[in-house]
Amino acid sequence: MDASANANKSDVHGRLTRREAAMAVVGLGYVGWPLARHFSRHFRVIGYDIDPRRIERLRNRAVRSGALDGESFGESGIVLTSSSDDLSEAVFYIVAVPTPVDEEKRPDLAALDDATRRIASHLKPGDYVVYESTVYPGCTQERCIPMLERLSGLAAGVDFKVGYSPERINPGDEVHSLSDTVKIVSGCDAEALDTIARMYGEVVEAGLHRVPDMKVAETAKLLENIQRDVNIALMNECAGLSWRLGVDFGEVLAAASTKWNFAPYSPGLVGGHCIGVDPYYLLAKAGELDMRLPLIRTSRQTNEAMGRNVADILLRELAARRKAPQQARILLMGFTYKENVSDIRNTKSMDLFARFAECGAQVDIADPHADEEDVRKAYGVKLVETLHPPYDMAVVAVAHDEYRRLDEAFFRNILSEGGLLADLHSVCRHRVRSLDCWSL
Using the Cα atoms of residue 271, residue 401, residue 335 and residue 80 in order, give the sign of their dihedral: negative
What CATH topology corresponds to 306-440? Rossmann fold (3.40.50)
Residue 430's CB: how many other CB atoms inside 10 A?
7
pLDDT tens column, 160-185:
999 999 999 888 777 888 999 999 99
Describe the strand order of the beta sheet including 45-48 as a list of residue ranges: 78-81, 45-48, 22-26, 90-95, 128-131, 161-164, 183-187, 208-210
Name the least confident of 67-81, 84-98, 188-202, 416-430: 67-81
- pTM of the model as a whole: 0.91
Please say if 274 is a catalytic residue: yes
Tell me which of 144, 274, 428, 437 is the catalytic residue.
Answer: 274
Q: What is the CATH number of domain 214-304?
A: 1.10.1040.10
Q: Which residue has the higher pLDDT, 426 or 127?
A: 127
3-state secondary structure of 105: coil
pLDDT tens digits, 12-62: 999 999 999 999 999 999 999 999 999 999 999 999 999 998 999 898 863
Angle of the 306-320 helix axis to the 294-304 helix axis, nearest 10 = 40
pLDDT grade for 395, boundaries at 50, 70 and 90: very high
C-alpha of 279 from chain center: 13
> Judging by DSSP bridges, how do beta strands 183-187 and 161-164 pair with one another?
antiparallel
Average pLDDT of the chain, as a whole number: 92
Tens-place pLDDT, residues 325-368: 999 999 999 999 999 999 999 999 999 999 999 999 999 999 99
Compute the distance between CA of residue 202 and CA of residue 188 in angstroms, rounded to an integer.
Answer: 21
Q: Enumerate the CATH 3.40.50.720 domain ranges in the chain, comma separated.
A: 3-212, 306-440
Domain with CATH 1.10.1040.10 in the chain: 214-304
- What is the pLDDT at residue 76? 55
Q: What is the pLDDT of residue 251?
A: 92
| Cα–Cα distance measured from residue 371 to residue 354, given in angstroms and rounded to the nearest whole number | 19
* Average pLDDT estimate for 138-150: 98
- If you average pLDDT over residues 231-244, what whole number do you get? 95
pLDDT-derived band of residue 429, with 50, 70 and 90 as boundaries? confident
Least Cα distance to 422 among 266, 342, 310 occurs for 310
pLDDT digits (tens, 9 = 90+) for 69-82: 444 434 457 999 99
Residue 382: burial class (beta carbons within 10 Å; 0-12, 13-18, 19+): exposed
Give the confidence band of 10 by pLDDT, cuts at 50, 70, 90: low
Q: Which CATH superfamily is domain 3-212 in?
A: NAD(P)-binding Rossmann-like Domain (3.40.50.720)
At 189, is the pLDDT very low, low, confident or very high (cuts 50, 70, 90)?
very high
Strand partners, 233: none
Query: Which carries the bigger pLDDT value, residue 440 or residue 68?
Result: 440
Please write down the HEC assignment for all residues of 206-266: CCEEECCCHHHHHHHHHHHHHHHHHHHHHHHHHHHHHHHHCCCHHHHHHHHCCCCCCCCCC
